[in-house]
């Protein structure tokens, strides 16, 4: 068997030869029925000189053992190798051995290229059952392939990025709180790890596994406004400042304004023009004032078919309630302040000099004001020039992909499998970089050119 044939059959072991049996000499490949259906079967023999691992003497040949191995399929055709493996016996210590093929891990009946294909497909949005059917293997084989990749995703507990962020996602029964966390390097948007639970001091226990030097190197932690995170961050990251995510800051006022809109809407009779107007055009109220269309007029069915711009529609809606107008102005002021990163205006908005302005705001906005006052310093930190581009947006995007992984798999019963699937799914994760670099090294090491140089 020459090197070109080995490359065509994806074989790297130079000791493997075609079976010299006269029955297969002219045609080493035959079409046979296997337990997985009809397949192309290559007949080979594996023999070489072996030294006894116990007494270091040359072992004697002791017949052959036929073993069937599955290789990567070619199109729709299954490919198997029926290999007659040399058996050995030591005359000194009576130890017996069997020839081993370097393309197959000891104890397996699958070529390494099959497992590499499975590893690549795990990155895609496919269930383990689908991957198993494509490669004509069992679901347990796919699971074992996933577990075999675990060595690439072990984080180093002696290093943490200077700027990190984390956000929670629903993980179900894996966590007592129902939420797990995705940890990310916010500068490079590189997922670092998946934390099993956000409650019951699990977050603190996780970060305390990192060395004190690694935790002291962290400068910023970008998170949402979930209060329990604060005590943990201050305890485990002594030199880090907390940065409040802008989206979650605006959401506080968004929720209060929307609650008030629903309250005002329900104060009118069901089906009345006012009820329908507040129900139909709620998105315009929640929209940033600078994004409202002030030039184009459209026929508005709920306003007696009047030709109105978006800005005019909002003004008519706000005229229905002074409380709604006050809440709307607070919401728009907050959006403007966050967009322009004005610390003084934020302070004036949350602690107005004139008490009358704060008295006008409805009760629905009280929770938002209290939350924003509580996290005022964190919001100000997010206005600093070198930190202004930090947000949990990239983490939220990854969380959306995690939801797709869960839906495709119809859920997971094992958190460890779930964690590996998540880290494998992101091609910029530490797993992907480690796996790709190792695969390149293996290909280089197994290439004919490298073998010649080594010889």
For residue 167, give every residue at least 6 positions away whose Cβ sits within 8 Å of its Cβ, in sequence order, or none: 181, 182, 223, 224, 392, 395, 396, 399
Q: What is the pLDDT of residue 445?
A: 53
Report how far residue 24's alpha carbon sits from residue 20's, in angstroms, rounded to the nearest whole number.
7
Report how far residue 229's alpha carbon sits from residue 334's, in angstroms, rounded to the nearest whole number.
24
Q: List average pLDDT for each run of 10 residues in the chain, which is 455 residues long.
A: 80 88 82 84 91 90 91 83 92 90 87 84 83 88 81 79 91 84 90 87 91 94 91 93 93 94 95 94 93 93 92 95 94 94 91 65 90 93 83 89 86 83 77 62 50 34
Report how far residue 347's alpha carbon sits from residue 352's, in angstroms, rounded to the nearest whole number.
8
Q: What is the pLDDT of residue 242?
A: 94
Q: What is the pLDDT of residue 454?
A: 33
Report how far residue 163's alpha carbon sits from residue 220's, in angstroms, rounded to the nearest whole number.
5
Q: Name the residue among 50, 13, 5, 120 with its Cα closest to residue 445.
A: 13
Residue 77 structure tokens = 């055709």
For residue 279, give every residue at least 6 positions away whose Cβ sits within 8 Å of its Cβ, in sequence order, or none: 265
**How many Cα neighbours within 13 Å face the side chain of 99?**
24
User: How many beta carbons lie within 10 A of that of residue 438, not counting itself?
Assistant: 12
**Cα radius of gyration rounded to whole Å, the chain:** 33
Compute CA distances 91 → 55, 98, 185, whole Å: 10, 15, 60
Residue 428 structure tokens = 């910029």
CA 256 to chain centroid, in Å, comes to 32
Report how far residue 105's alpha carbon sits from residue 319's, in angstroms, rounded to the nearest whole number.
75
Report how far residue 24's alpha carbon sits from residue 75's, in angstroms, rounded to the nearest whole number.
24
For residue 295, give every residue at least 6 positions away whose Cβ sits within 8 Å of its Cβ, in sequence order, or none: 309
**How many Cα neighbours within 13 Å face the side chain of 235?**
12
Helices (H), 239-386: 246-267, 273-280, 282-286, 310-318, 322-340, 343-350, 355-360, 366-374, 376-381
User: How many beta carbons lie within 10 A of that of residue 85, not counting itself?
Assistant: 18
**How many Cα neighbours within 13 Å face the side chain of 418?**
27
Ramachandran bin of 178, using left for φ above 0, alpha for ψ from -120 to 50, beta for the remaining angles: left
């Amino acid at each position: 068997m020459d090197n070109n044939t080995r490359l065509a059959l994806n074989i790297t072991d130079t000791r493997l030869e075609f079976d010299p049996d006269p029955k297969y000499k002219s045609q080493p490949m035959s079409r046979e029925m296997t337990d997985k259906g009809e397949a192309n079967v290559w007949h080979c023999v594996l023999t070489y000189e072996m030294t006894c691992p116990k007494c270091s003497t040359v072992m004697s040949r002791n017949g052959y053992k036929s073993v069937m191995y599955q290789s990567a399929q070619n199109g729709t055709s299954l490919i198997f190798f029926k290999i007659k493996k040399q058996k050995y016996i030591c005359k000194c210590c009576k130890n017996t051995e069997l020839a081993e093929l370097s393309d197959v891990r000891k104890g397996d009946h699958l070529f390494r290229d099959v497992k590499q294909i499975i590893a690549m497909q795990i990155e895609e949005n496919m269930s383990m059952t689908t991957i198993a059917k494509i490669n004509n293997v069992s679901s347990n084989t796919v699971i074992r392939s996933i577990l075999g990749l675990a060595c690439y995703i072990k984080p180093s507990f002696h290093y943490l990025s200077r700027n990190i962020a984390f956000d929670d996602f629903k993980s179900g029964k894996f966590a007592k709180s129902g939420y797990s966390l995705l940890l990310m390097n916010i500068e490079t948007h590189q997922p670092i790890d998946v934390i099993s639970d956000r409650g019951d001091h699990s977050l603190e226990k996780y970060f305390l596994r990192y060395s004190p030097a690694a935790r002291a190197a962290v400068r910023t932690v970008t998170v949402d406004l979930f209060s329990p995170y604060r005590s943990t961050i201050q305890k485990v990251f002594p030199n880090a400042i907390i940065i409040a995510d802008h989206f979650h800051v605006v959401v506080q006022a968004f929720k209060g304004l929307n609650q008030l809109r629903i309250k005002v809407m329900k104060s009118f009779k069901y089906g009345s023009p006012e009820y329908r107007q507040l129900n139909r055009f709620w998105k315009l109220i929640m929209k940033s004032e600078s994004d409202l269309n002030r030039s184009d007029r459209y026929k508005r069915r709920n306003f007696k078919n009047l030709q109105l711009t978006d800005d005019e529609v909002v003004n008519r809606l706000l005229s229905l309630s002074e409380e709604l107008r006050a809440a709307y102005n607070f919401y728009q002021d907050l959006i403007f302040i966050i967009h322009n990163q004005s610390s003084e205006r934020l302070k004036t908005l949350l602690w107005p000099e004139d008490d009358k302005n704060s008295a006008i705001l409805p009760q629905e906005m009280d929770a938002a004001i209290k939350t924003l006052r509580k996290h005022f310093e964190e919001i100000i930190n997010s206005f600093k020039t070198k930190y202004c581009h930090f947000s949990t947006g990239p983490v939220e995007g990854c969380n959306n992909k995690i939801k797709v992984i869960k839906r495709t798999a119809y859920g997971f019963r094992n958190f460890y499998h779930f964690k590996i699937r998540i880290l494998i799914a992101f091609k910029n994760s530490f797993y992907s970089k480690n796996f790709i670099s190792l695969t390149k090294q293996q290909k280089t090491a197994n290439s004919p050119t490298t073998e010649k140089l080594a010889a």
